[in-house]
Structure 1
């Protein structure tokens, strides 16, 4: 924390530092006669009516009465990751958006309004990469109307925890009653180690999601719209490991996966394994086959998305050399989608 020349802790932040990354120490209470302190690091997203709001990397907002502050200072951006390829948030947001396209979209300044008949939040949310060209309240009115006209709830996809992410927008949405429903992370890693991880000779690759692949896909009753989203992207590949009965058996495949190749990036998703066959390395086999295909098309870096509570997937991907780049969130309007 910030310590003066006289050895005292000092608060060296003000409301003028909103939007900057800060580190603060506050008095959290006392135990017997001992004072207890808590440290918080994140982006200062507001300082109003004697209360600071700091948004942590995870997207969690912490409200701190200024009277409890013991010390505080502006700190530099988090140090660059030591693992995985270098990338900006904006680059990854655009790459991941191209890998999961809606069936309908419209521009609002630098925002993109996306819709796909409600199939996944990613394809049915606003991607706000910049200025909407209107004051925020007016832009959100347009958003609510646009989704309401389609019978859909209004969602805005935001990100936190990286350089250039949207902590301030998250705070503004929360002040307006929008609620954060889903949080996940986007992880990145080198592609070649994924391809080298397992023998993928038994994996079948296809440009389309056939009936066998869809039989293992967790989202049942896939519609025509869903098939369009699944097949969207610059260069899409689907991987299938036949079930134990072999190709053409009545049972669903043992494992499946999807990959979208886009320049230097390969994005992995829909990696699913028969629950009875888990812990046999089938997920690694699927990803190795897709990674080899992506390498052949010139990709060198990889990304994927994983939810915080998916402990098994996080352990698998960490073992493959992936690490978290930023967190992303879906904020929903506090009213119904219709308006």
Structure 2
């Protein structure tokens, strides 16, 4: 007569409930068929060593969790464009052999981005980028130095005060986007940003709702890809800071990632973001490697 549905309750209106299971299966349950419901603790995160991954592998993994709308291969290099939304999605990931002499490859990069009216940016990973390429780019304008950090997932997924306030969804609503400051830019860039944020193998959005339907107090995003969970877009409203909400968002997202089999987390944080670095240090993240961008001169 009855059957159980276990998962994340993502919506509930006067007609139906929507529940997303561990395998991303969506169940729509008519309200008049609901007999009972109760909170179920998340599936425990598996403990163990971090999965083996080199800086090159982690950078490529991160690119898949922040997927540019337009991608093209130049040998092993990946040219990426997303109407100018973030340097990560509008730069060439220069890892491996481009299949051309380096000066010719860089000329091809400049032409590709010029055709899209975008600056030609090269992502330089240390270690990871060919030293010959790094030497060739030395002296050019450098932008946005960042760390890629990793941590075991099990400690992150432990319940913390405030985690019960976090709501998860598979799509970002207008409140989430507003706290992420996705309000300025060309229509093409805003559309690209929405598409990019929802791209990836298994994407989840977290938010701590504000009062009376106002702007969320905190948000975050997580993309689960096999054993790895990529955390990004963790923001807290200025009026709600120092209340542990960023930690609560990370905990809820990590618990969900563990439900889908992830064992490790990683994130990308700018080197001058002292507040975020302090938070991630407390949560057990350590730096795997650094990367930055170099702007090529115009052709």
Same fold (TM over 0.5): yes
Give the SS at the match of 2:276: helix
1:28-86 per-residue CA deviation (whole Å, 9 max, x = no partner) reads xxxxxxxxxxxxxxxxxxxxxxxxxxxxxxxxxxxxxxxxxxxxxxxxxxxxxxx9654
Would you say how many aligned residue pairs link Structure 1 and Structure 2? 246
Rounded to whole Å, the distance in 2 between the matches of 1:154 and 1:120 is 13
Report which of the two has the higher share of strand: 1
What's the RMSD between the two structures over aligned residues? 1.6
Q: Normalising by structure 1, report the TM-score.
A: 0.70
For CA contacts below 8 A with separation 6 or more, give which structure has more relative contact order.
Answer: 2
Give the match for residue 229 of structure 1: 196
Structure 1 portions without partners, runs of 5+? 1-82
Aligned ranges 1:18-167 → 2 under 5 Å: 86-160=52-126, 162=127, 164-167=128-131
Counterpart of 1:191 (choices 142, 153, 164) is 153
CA contact under 8 A between 2:96 and 2:130: conserved in structure 1? no
- Aligned counterparts of 2:133 and 2:146: Cα–Cα separation in 1: 17
Q: Which residue of 2 aligns with 1:283?
A: 246
Q: Compare the two structures and name the one with the higher helix fraction.
A: 2
Post-superposition CA distance 1:157-206 (Å, at most 9, x none): 0111x4x44444222112xx532111000000001111115142221111
Whole-angstrom CA distance in 2 between matches of 1:149 and 1:315: 41
Q: Work out whether residues 84 and 323 of structure 1, in 8 Å CA contact, stay in contact via their aligned partners in 2.
A: no
Q: Is the 8 A contact 1:84 1:322 kept in 2?
A: no
Q: In the alignment, does 2:168 pair up with 1:202?
A: no
8 Å CA contact 1:239, 1:258 repeated in 2: yes
Partner of 2:182: 219
Indicate yes or no: 2:144 matched with 1:182. yes
Question: Paired residue for 2:277, among 314, 319, 329?
Answer: 314
Alpha-carbon distance in 2 for matches of 1:166, 1:261: 29
